[in-house]
Amino acid sequence: MKNRKLLMIPGPIEFTPAVLRAIGMPTTSHVAANFIDVFGQALEDLRKVFLSPSGQPFILAGSGTLAMDMAAANLVEPGDVALVVNTGYFSDRFATMLERYGAKVTKVGAGEVGGAPTLQEVEAVLQSMKPKLMTITHVDTSTGVATNVKELAALGRKHGALVIVDGVCAIGGEVMRQDDWGIDVVLTASQKAIGVPPGLALLVAGPKAMEKFKNRKSPVSNFYADWHEWLPIMQAYELRKPSYFGTPAVNLVWALHVSLQEILREGMEARFTRHTRLGTSFKAAVKALGLKQVPLRPELYAATLSAIYYPVGVDASMLKQVDEAGVLVAGGLHPAIKTKYFRVGHMGAVTEADILSTVGAVETGLKKSGYRFEVGSGIAAAQKTLSN
């Protein structure tokens, strides 16, 4: 009997056997020749995954919140005007960080949970406030809302703002072309579509971001996140030379090297297509079951995550039934609707079988919670989408 449940939350996700083997290797020195080579290769591969040949990658021990903090600490100076495109909990978090470092922040949002501001609304604010930087959450993990990063970034560039994208729930799954789209900073964490257990903050900074950082007039007020300390380390490892500021997470970096190689073998275009296909199939099942999603419009649906309202008469106790059916999904996160919805992650190493298993477990949970629907309708809808 299998005693392990399928992990389908928005991170951590399911990891491949090769990645898990790397985590379990005997830990070596952070200045051993083989580790230096692995770290250097991971930095080079990060550019390829982010599609940013011109970018400067950073790999630090920490979470996605640290990656956000790095961007804010190094690129904000007191008095800078900043615009936050607000689509949920993590957009609000970014605004708080920017304010902590002295920025004057304006948020432009849709007003209603599950929405996103229009391009016209964002441009109107850009025109009126002329911000030095603009943040965009690619997929907000609290709402499952995906933004039109390409067009938003174009607006930011047009109005002279440095564009920073929180790609924590997106990179490695959602379509992202950092250099082609003119994005100055993209950041993520290891435990989502990148496919490595929690513990690494990942960021790629483009030339304009590095120029702003190098020309700042005030010192960086966060010691651990300061690029003055980390840039020489990243450059040394890429040149395959030992260096030290803080001890890297050796086994996690080794696992990152393995995962990035797996991602690149699959190919970024194939990976984008797979995530879109699997995400679409899961959402087809949600629709067939008569459930409503948190994002207000289909064009806001993410490929990596689904946020689904409980039907009338069903509450969070349903998640225990899904769990007992062999699949772990996540409860709500956004404070305004926390008890009203649940979330399913479908990213990274996820397969068609994982999607169908998850739909089946959700159907079981709904059935045992008293919701009336045609049993098997969700699975049939997902299968139909997958067969097209």
Q: Residue 339, Cα to own-chain centre: how many angstroms?
A: 23
- The pair of three-digit structure tokens given for residue 285, joined into one six-digit string: 């099942």
Q: What is the pLDDT of residue 2?
A: 65
Q: Residue 163, Cα to own-chain centre: how many angstroms?
A: 16
User: What is the CATH topology of the domain spanning 6-11+268-387?
Assistant: Aspartate Aminotransferase, domain 1 (3.90.1150)
Question: pTM of the predicted model, to two decimals?
Answer: 0.97
Pick the CATH number of 17-266 from 1.20.1730.10, 3.40.250.10, 3.60.21.10, 3.40.640.10: 3.40.640.10
Q: Which sequence spans correspond to the domains of the chain?
A: 6-11+268-387, 17-266
Q: What is the pLDDT of residue 42?
A: 98
pLDDT along the chain (388 residues), means of 10: 86 97 96 97 98 98 98 98 97 97 95 95 97 98 98 98 98 98 98 98 98 97 98 98 96 98 98 98 98 98 98 97 98 97 98 98 98 98 96
Q: At 358, which amino acid appears? A: T
